[in-house]
């Protein structure tokens, strides 16, 4: 394992030099070319999300369920352990770069989820499926490239990211109650199995309840801590901004003179948390039944805002307002636990362990939903899916008993590869994104509920599956 870990680290340094430039460049490209869609249409994205709560079809999930399924995958240990790791490794300035990643990434998230809706298909059961593997195959006519993306997502979400979630649950449980990683691993396997064998509709219904509840509880704790420390909040914000441009601690490697540790870790942990441009949330977005692809693109864009600007900032507030926690020598979930304990007392550790379990467990089942859709893209075979489900359970246990550094570094490697493939694809398909947004906005001037008619665009109609938008 040590030799494997060293290999992972050797891959990560050059890989992430490229990923950072591509990620920020793509976000900036869509922000400018879509005329700041993430700001202009943010109120409309809220209306679309709220309006999608009562939409239900026999063979599809509602737009709101797709939103919370995507949020279930976004909102997880990245919001708690990931933020703490970013702060300890990159300093308070890492939080600023998480914000930048999210604000630019909202436009990339809009693009990828709109494309996923446009190029979605129906499976044998009549349910909608889609995502980058599908829009690469149909939109770019490059099935081999779609296969590569699907394989990268299956490894990243089905296996590695779930190992990160279970690792963090094990760490928090050990810190709060002294539970052994092995015992936590077995318990997680037993709890996860019924969920992943139930399919995406069961996952969406669980997420619809769990995600808002856990987010509200955690935010309530952050607000309480914030009001108890109002006098030092301005100084904390000033520290975040000033530290963001401190290049004394260079990131190393070829781009060390350009990227600071704050920038590198803020972007890494920001991407892990909000997944904007990575190509994961489009898999949930495609499952919804909407009248226009842009409707779900706006809804999924909102998920990035909620994840990073609201929930990740809540963790940053908790950690940075408990200054002495940063000198404790711990990181990850245990640092956030220590910070909460410092603010509210010993029960804070137990509180966060429970919240963290809810975050991470919902993410595990959300991750599985993404990976299963891509398994079906490659080979829609019950035996293949059964073997995959067993392998997922094995990785849940693996993550619980491994060292934190190993599973997080593995996550960096595979999410970097996956993000690069998807970012290239959405850049090549950007003219389609422009067309969709123009069609939506022109209709929005005359109707409250735009409806996409693919027959109005003959060239595009040739690439879209029949009877999806007709």
Burial of 318 (0-12, 13-18, 19+ CB in 10 A): buried
What whole-number distance in Å separates Cα of residue 64 and Cα of residue 51?
Answer: 8
Who wins on pLDDT, 248 or 464? 464
pLDDT grade for 251, boundaries at 50, 70 and 90? low
Cβ–Cβ < 8 Å for 208, 53? no
Burial of 253 (0-12, 13-18, 19+ CB in 10 A): middle
Radius of gyration of the chain (CA): 21
> What does the pLDDT read at residue 66?
73
* Weakest mean pLDDT among 166-170, 201-205, 387-391: 201-205
Burial state string for 379-393 with b = 16 or more CB within 10 A and e = fewer than 16: eeeeeebeebbeebb
Cβ–Cβ < 8 Å for 131, 289? no
With respect to residue 468, please indicate whether it lies within any of the assigned structural domains. Answer: no
- Which residues does residue 129 pair with via DSSP β-bridges, in sequence order? 121
Q: What is the DSSP letter of 403?
A: -
Residue entry with tokens 């199995």: 193
* Weakest mean pLDDT among 81-85, 357-361, 377-381, 447-451: 357-361
With respect to residue 204, please indicate whether it lies within any of the assigned structural domains. Answer: yes
> What does the pLDDT read at residue 12?
87
Could you tell me where the beta strands, DSSP code E, fall in 356-459? Answer: none
Closest CA to 77 of 153, 172, 212: 172
What whole-number distance in Å separates Cα of residue 470 and Cα of residue 454?
Answer: 7
Which residue range forms the structural domain that includes residue 259? 1-34+41-462
CB contact set of 94 (below 8 Å; sequence gap of 6+): 86, 87, 244, 261, 262, 263, 265, 266, 269
pLDDT in tens, 253-306: 555 555 677 888 888 888 877 888 889 889 888 888 889 999 999 998 998 998
With respect to residue 470, please indicate whether it lies within any of the assigned structural domains. Answer: no
Q: What is the DSSP letter of 124?
A: T
> What does the pLDDT read at residue 414?
93
With respect to residue 429, please indicate whether it lies within any of the assigned structural domains. Answer: yes
Backbone angles phi, psi at 302, to 5 degrees: -65, -35
Backbone angles phi, psi at 121, to 5 degrees: -130, 175
> What does the pLDDT read at residue 215?
73
Torsion of Cα atoms, 135 then 140 then 144 then 146, to 10°: -20
What whole-number distance in Å separates Cα of residue 336 and Cα of residue 172?
Answer: 10
Cα of 278 vs its chain's centroid, Å: 8
Closest CA to 399 of 363, 374, 371: 363
Examine the pLDDT at 244 and tell me if it is beyond 80: yes
Domain containing 59 — which CATH number?
1.20.1740
Cβ–Cβ < 8 Å for 21, 277? no
The number of distinct structural domains making up the chain is 1
pLDDT in tens, 331-378: 777 788 888 888 888 888 888 888 878 777 777 777 887 788 788 888
CB contact set of 293 (below 8 Å; sequence gap of 6+): 114, 115, 117, 118, 436, 452
Model confidence, pTM: 0.85
State the chain's mean pLDDT as an integer.
84
With respect to residue 223, please indicate whether it lies within any of the assigned structural domains. Answer: yes
With respect to residue 163, please indicate whether it lies within any of the assigned structural domains. Answer: yes
With respect to residue 467, please indicate whether it lies within any of the assigned structural domains. Answer: no
Q: Which two tokens stand for residue 131?
A: 């995502």
Who wins on pLDDT, 311 or 144? 144
With respect to residue 123, please indicate whether it lies within any of the assigned structural domains. Answer: yes
């Amino acid at each position: 394992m040590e030799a494997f870990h060293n290999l992972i680290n050797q891959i990560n340094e050059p890989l992430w030099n490229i990923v950072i430039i591509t990620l920020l460049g793509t976000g900036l490209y869509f922000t400018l070319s879509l005329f700041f869609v993430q700001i202009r249409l943010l109120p409309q994205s809220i209306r679309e999300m709220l309006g999608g709560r009562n939409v239900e079809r026999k063979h599809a999930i509602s737009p709101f369920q797709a939103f919370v399924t995507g949020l279930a995958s976004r909102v997880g240990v990245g919001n708690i352990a990931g933020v703490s790791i970013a702060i300890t490794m990159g300093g308070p300035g890492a939080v600023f770069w998480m914000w930048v990643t999210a604000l630019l990434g909202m436009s990339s998230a809009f693009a990828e989820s709109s494309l996923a809706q446009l190029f979605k298909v129906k499976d044998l059961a009549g349910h909608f499926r889609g995502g980058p593997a599908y829009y690469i195959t149909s939109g770019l006519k490059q099935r081999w490239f779609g296969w590569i993306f699907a394989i990268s997502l299956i490894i990243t979400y089905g296996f590695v990211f779930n190992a990160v979630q279970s690792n963090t649950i094990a760490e928090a449980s050990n810190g709060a109650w002294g539970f052994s990683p092995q015992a936590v691993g077995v318990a997680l396997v037993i709890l996860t199995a019924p969920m992943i064998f139930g399919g995406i509709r069961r996952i969406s219904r669980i997420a619809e309840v769990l995600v808002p509840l856990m987010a509200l509880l955690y935010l309530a704790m952050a607000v309480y801590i914030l009001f108890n420390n109002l006098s030092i909040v301005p100084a904390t914000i000033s520290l975040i901004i000033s530290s963001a441009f401190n290049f004394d601690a260079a990131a190393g490697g070829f781009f060390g003179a350009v990227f600071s540790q704050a920038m590198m870790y803020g972007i890494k942990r920001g991407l892990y948390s909000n997944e904007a441009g990575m190509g994961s949330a489009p898999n949930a977005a495609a499952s919804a039944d909407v009248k226009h692809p842009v409707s779900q693109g706006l809804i999924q864009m909102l998920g990035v805002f909620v994840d990073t600007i609201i929930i990740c900032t809540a963790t940053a507030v908790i950690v940075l307002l408990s200054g002495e926690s940063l000198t404790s020598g711990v990181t990850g979930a245990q640092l956030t636990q220590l910070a909460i304990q410092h603010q509210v007392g010993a029960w804070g550790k137990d509180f966060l362990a429970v919240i963290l379990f809810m975050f991470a467990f919902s993410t595990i089942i959300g991750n599985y939903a993404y990976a299963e859709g891509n398994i079906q893209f490659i080979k829609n075979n019950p035996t293949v899916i059964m073997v995959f489900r067993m392998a997922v359970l094995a990785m849940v246990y693996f993550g619980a008993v491994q060292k934190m550094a190993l599973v997080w570094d593995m996550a960096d490697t595979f999410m970097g590869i996956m993000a690069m493939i998807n970012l290239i694809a959405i850049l090549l398909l950007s003219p389609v994104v422009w067309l969709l947004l123009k069609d939506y906005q022109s209709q929005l001037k005359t109707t409250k509920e735009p409806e996409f008619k693919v027959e109005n665009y003959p060239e595009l109609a040739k690439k879209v599956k029949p009877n999806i938008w007709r």
